[in-house]
Each structure stands twice: as C-alpha cells, then as structure tokens.
C-alpha cells in the first residue's frame, strides 16, 4: 500500500490534533488496516529492527517498545482503539488512551536508544548524526 500524506490544516491546536488527522485517515480508509503505528516526527533515530520487533507482537492491545526500562516510540495500536483517540479533546493527550489500556499493553524490549531520542533542535540533530547521542 502506498503512503498517504495527511496534513493538519490547524496545527496550532496541538500535537494531538495531528495524530487525530492521521488516525481519521486510517479509520476512513477501505479496507481499513488492522494496526497502525504512530510516533512523533522528531524521533529520527528509530531502527527498522525496533519497528519489526514491535510489529511481531501485534494483537488486540497496544504495543510499546522499551529500552533500558523506558517506554518509547513507535507505538502500535489495533485500529479498534482509533475511536478512543479521536474522541479526545484538545486539552488531552494520547497518554489518556494509553493509560486506559495500560493493563493490556505489551512492552517489547529493544536494543535501540533511538526509541527515546526526541530531537527538537539543530544541535540535537547534529549530535545524533555525529554519534554523540
């Protein structure tokens, strides 16, 4: 399946609304996928092996990678959870839904510090590309 680019026409409303735009596109597609990954755009160092490891644990529950006991990205959810994310208001975060399903969530150990590396500025990006982080 080809990638579909979804644009949040009102990004000032916050990060959640961008996630909701993407999830709405998945939810309205035919045929709808069984699962969807999501991750903030500023996690450029996630290894393909981490994505594969998370995907291999797909089921009727969220799947979250862990590195040294810390949760990271990408998160994999069954599309049956999309309506819960779409129902969140602008003052909430995706964590609301994730906490609601914490008892069912599967955590997958990965050997990838990139699942934790949030790159918010040029200095952090340079550090990653030069192997400092």
User: 83-101 pLDDT, tens per residue?
Assistant: 999 999 989 999 999 999 9
Contacts of 28 (CB under 8 A, 6+ apart): none
Which string of DSSP letters, residue by residue, matches 29-41? Answer: SSSPPSEEEE--T
d(CA 115, CA 71): 8
Q: Where are the beta strands (DSSP E) in the chain?
A: 35-38, 63-67, 70-71, 75-78, 106-109
Task: Tell me the domain boundaries of the chain.
Answer: 11-129
Q: What is the pLDDT of residue 58?
A: 98
pLDDT value for 132: 61
Residue 131: predicted pLDDT: 72
Fold of the domain spanning 11-129: Spore Coat Polysaccharide Biosynthesis Protein SpsA; Chain A (3.90.550)
Neighbour count for residue 61 (Cβ, 10 Å)? 17
DSSP-based three-state secondary structure for 54? helix
Convert the pLDDT of each residue in 13-49 to its tens digit. 999 999 999 999 999 998 889 999 999 989 989 999 9
pLDDT value at residue 1: 67
The pLDDT, as a whole number, for residue 100 is 97
Mean pLDDT of the chain: 93
d(CA 80, CA 59): 11
pTM for this prediction: 0.90
Give the whole-number percent of the chain exceeding pLDDT 90.
Answer: 76
Of 77, 86, 75, 76, the C-alpha closest to 28 is 86
Mapped onto helix, strand or coil, the DSSP state of residue 46 is coil
């Amino acid at each position: 399946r080809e990638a579909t680019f979804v644009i949040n026409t009102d990004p000032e409303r916050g990060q959640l609304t961008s996630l909701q735009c993407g999830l709405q596109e998945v939810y309205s597609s035919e045929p709808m996928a069984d699962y969807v990954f999501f991750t903030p755009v500023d996690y450029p160092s996630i290894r393909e092996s981490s994505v594969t490891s998370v995907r291999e644990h797909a089921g009727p529950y969220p799947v979250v990678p862990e590195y040294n006991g810390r949760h990271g990205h990408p998160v994999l959810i069954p599309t049956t959870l999309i309506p819960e994310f779409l129902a969140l208001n602008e003052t909430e975060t995706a964590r609301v839904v994730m906490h609601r399903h914490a008892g069912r969530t599967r955590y997958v150990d990965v050997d990838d510090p990139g699942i934790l590396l949030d790159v918010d500025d040029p200095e952090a990006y340079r550090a990653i590309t030069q192997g400092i982080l």
